[in-house]
Chain A
Amino acid sequence: MVYDAFIEVNLREGIADPQGSTIEKATANLGFEGVVNVRVGKCIRFQIEAENEVNASSVVQELCDRFLTNPVIEEAIIKIQVVE
């Protein structure tokens, strides 16, 4: 089966996010009120072949742990979906 993998990489809670705070200040400067806790991450998408969803998830998880994120400062939210 082929699965779509969608990975959202974010800075861990407590890790300062200079991009997020800069954007937050800019929203206020633009007149948007009440925009708080802006955090900036990145998304990585790819397709992966695996026997089933469990296998696909475990490979993607390992890929995130070893390569796609730096666990010291980042964490990943993984979504897997079978390609229709």
Chain B
Amino acid sequence: MSPNIGVIVFPGSNCEKDTIEALTDLGASPRLLWHADRDMGNVDAVIIPGGFAHGDYLRPGAIARFSPAMEAITNFAENGGPVLGICNGFQVLTEAGLLPGALQKNAGLKFLCQEVELRVENTNSVLTSQALEGQTLRIPINHFEGNYTCSDETLHELQIGHRIILKYSENPNGSVADIAGICNDNRNVVGLMPHPERACHTLLGSTDGRVLLKSFMEGAHAKV
């Protein structure tokens, strides 16, 4: 059975179709969901894709977090449903309080659009269950506000809880502890700045994103 995955579209999202394409190619049954809808139509998992929800006005994710769909996603996540935020989606999840910390402007003040090397730090999450610990993945980043920031206490919690799941091999944006992706306490909510959906086909230069999306599909399947 191929999992039903909802991809939330906000005004200003721009990676939803890439995400649908990659998931379809991997055998999932994805569909777009509108941010203003509370009803998520019994999906098995939810992805908040990249882009600039509501123009990133005020702060990335600051307005998106109050969308009706976010209420539904919060309930879904609390019930163990797999939730993935990619790039802007990660920013939305931190603003919504589903993941700790915040993403601020890159240390070098440059919009970064490049392939980076990631290291899988932990495989106990809905995004990394099929990957190998220590595995390196080449996946693109595409952001201006990807500099992960949190308090020392939060960083300590992330570290002792093994909730840092992906790190940059070479820190491109100033993120604390080279963090590229984290998960929540229950390991069903995950956020990362890199774009796995853009590394799912040889034509795109890398297929390293597939193992992450496959893991997520497996998590969605387990939910079924």
Contacts and interface: CB of A to CB of B under 8 A. Distances in A.
Interface of A: 11, 15-16, 18-19, 22, 67-68, 70, 72-73
Interface string B144-177: 0001011100000000000000000000001000
Contacts of B94: 72
Nearest to A68: B58
Contacts, number: 36
A18 B150 contact: no
Contacts of B59: 70
A21 to B, nearest CB: 9
Contacts of B48: none
A18 B105 contact: yes
Interface of B: 58-59, 62, 66, 94-95, 100-102, 104-109, 147, 149-151, 174
A73 B108 contact: no
Nearest to B109: A18
Contacts of B101: 72
A22 B106 CA distance: 12
A16 B102 contact: no
B108 A18 contact: yes
B224 to A, nearest CB: 35
Given A18-B105, A70-B59, A73-B104, 5 more contacts: A16-B149, A16-B174, A19-B109, A68-B58, A70-B102
Contact of B149 (A15, A19, A68): A15
A64 B147 CA distance: 23
Nearest to B66: A67
A19 B105 contact: yes
A25 B113 CA distance: 25
